[in-house]
Structure 1
Amino acid sequence: MDTKVYQIPCAIDREDLLARLHIKPDSSYIGKVDQLIDEALKIGNPKIAYKLAFVDDKGDDFVVIEGIRFSSRILRVNMEDTFKAVPFVVTCGTELADWAQGYPDTFDNYIADGVMEAVLRSALEKSYARIDEEFNLGHAANMNPGSLPEWPLTEQEPLFQLLGDVQGLIGVELKSSFLMSPIKTESGIRFPKEGTFYNCQLCSREDNCPGRKAPFDKDLYKEKYLKKD
């Protein structure tokens, strides 16, 4: 299947944004925040590049999707019961990235960065719902290159290879460092999976991480993902 592109309606959860920026509703900074929200909603153009793909082969610590190898024991175990995969790249859009550069002041840039992050969060929620419905995934989970040491950022390369010309399609560049530009972009593979899986369950970083979706489970890796001799 060819890679698809979808332009996602731009949306921002204002209350959540204020909480993440640590700005109270009665703060003197509210006017600036609302100004940047209004501007972003007018020019924001978040997008997703995605496709339905199928697994060709599986080994102890790798999965081959449409002839492209992904090396990860965790990905392999999580995809044990499926041969269906949806690689994706979701971005806040180059329009917002360019817009944010017009706010070099430290505080204004802090707000603009938070606004772009809010647009990305909304775009991801809409993207997951669209993927699940379009491809009938049922209960689904994601894995994202670079989110865990066992699936490093270098795995961005095969993911972009699988999707094709991502930069031409939605403006997202994969740099030599394997980081993406615009920075407010997320890539990954979504797949059907019974039960719950979040990258956070295997991440031992501090519990107050703003992106944490589930608590760290210190026994999960040993119980489920450690290769048995």
Structure 2
Amino acid sequence: MEPVVLKDIPFELDLPGLLERLHLEEGSPDAERVRQMAQEAGAIARPKAMYGVAYIDEKGDDYVIADGVRLTSRVLRVNLDGAHRVFPYVATCGRELEEWSRSITDMLESFWASAIKEEALRCAMAAMGKDLEHRLQPGPTSDMNPGSLEDWPMSQQRQLFALVGNPLETIGVELTDSYLMVPIKSVSGLRFPTETGFQSCQLCPRERCPGRRAPYDRDLWQRRYAGH
């Protein structure tokens, strides 16, 4: 299956919600400036996403091979116990917003611009998830992202990019030599069918993480992954 590419994703910004996340009071000078910036961003924003389907060829103790690409992770391997296909993806706020944000020199406004780009990335992820669900009907799924756990390091971005296709040429997402993505507000991952549900946060002990989506389960590794 050729990768599915989504380029006409609407940028739907929830301004009141954004102001709340930024701890800004509506009607204040700062809130007004964020509103202006959001209008600027809305005029040029082009969030994008792409995803594909890869079929699992082999499962080892701490790796899987999907469409000839080896993904090394004990956690991923166990999570894919009952799966025969996976959905690699890349989503981004788009180079248009990245270039716009680079023109902003004020430190506080740069912070606000970053939050606006995050909103665009959320739109891309939501559109990707909705399209994948409609097109492929995978049932209940979970995601894993290279670098979110020590067990699946950032260096595995290269393998993930190989699985999904050519994100640089297709949606403008570049992978640097240090395995970071440009635009910065981009995300890559592997979505997979699962009945049990999984969040990488469950295995991450980091406290006060603003992106935490599930509580840390200190016994989960030993219970599910160590002695599998």
Counterpart of 1:80 in 2: which secondary structure?
Answer: coil
Distance 1:213 1:15, change over 3 A: farther
Matches within 5 A, 1:125-164: 125-164=126-165
Asked whether the equivalents of residues 55 and 84 of structure 1 are also in contact (C-alpha less than 8 Å), the reply is yes
CA shift, 1:20, in A, is: 2.5
1:89 equivalent in structure 2:
90
Q: Which residue does the alignment assign to 1:43?
A: 44
SS at match of 2:11: coil
Amino acid paired to 2:91:
V
| CA deviation vs aligned residue, 1:103-129 (integer Å, no higher than 9, x gap) | 111111111111001111232122222
TM-score for both structures, normalised by structure 1 = 0.95
**TM-score, length of structure 2 as denominator length:** 0.95
Could you list the per-position Cα deviations for residues 21-48 of structure 1 after superposition, in whole angstroms to 9, with x for gaps in the alignment? 2222243211111011111111110111
CA shift for structure 1 position 162: 1.4
Aligned pairs for 1:66-215 within 5 A: 66-206=67-207, 208-215=208-215
Q: Percentage identity across aligned positions?
A: 42
- Partner deviation per Cα, 1:199-222 (whole Å, 9 max, x = no partner): 11111111x322111111111111
Name the counterpart of 2:222. Answer: 222
SS class of match (1:49): strand
Q: Which moved more, 1:68-77 or 1:102-111?
A: 102-111
1:193 and 1:166 map into 2 onto residues whose CA distance is 26
Tell me whether 70-79 or 128-137 shows the greater mean CA deviation: 128-137
| 8 Å Cα contact 2:82/2:194 also seen in 1 | yes
- Whole-angstrom distance in 2 between the partners of 1:15 and 1:152: 36
Provide the secondary structure at the position in 2 that maps to 1:29: helix
Residue-pair matches, total: 227
Q: Distance in 2 between matches of 1:177 and 1:227?
A: 32
Q: Distance in 2 between matches of 1:13 and 1:204?
A: 31
Query: Unpaired segments of 5 or more residues in structure 2?
Result: none
Q: What CA distance in whole angstroms lies between the structure 2 residues aligned with 1:11 and 1:122?
A: 7
Distance 2:222 2:55 in 1: 28
Q: What CA distance in whole angstroms lies between the structure 2 residues aligned with 1:27 and 1:220?
A: 46
State how far apart, in whole Å, the 2-side matches of 1:139 and 1:212 are.
20
Change in Cα spacing, 1:10 to 1:197, as seen in structure 2 (3 Å) is: same
CA contact (8 A) 1:132 1:140 kept: no
How far did 1:164 drift? 2.4
Q: How far apart are the structure 2 equivalents of 1:13 and 1:219?
A: 38
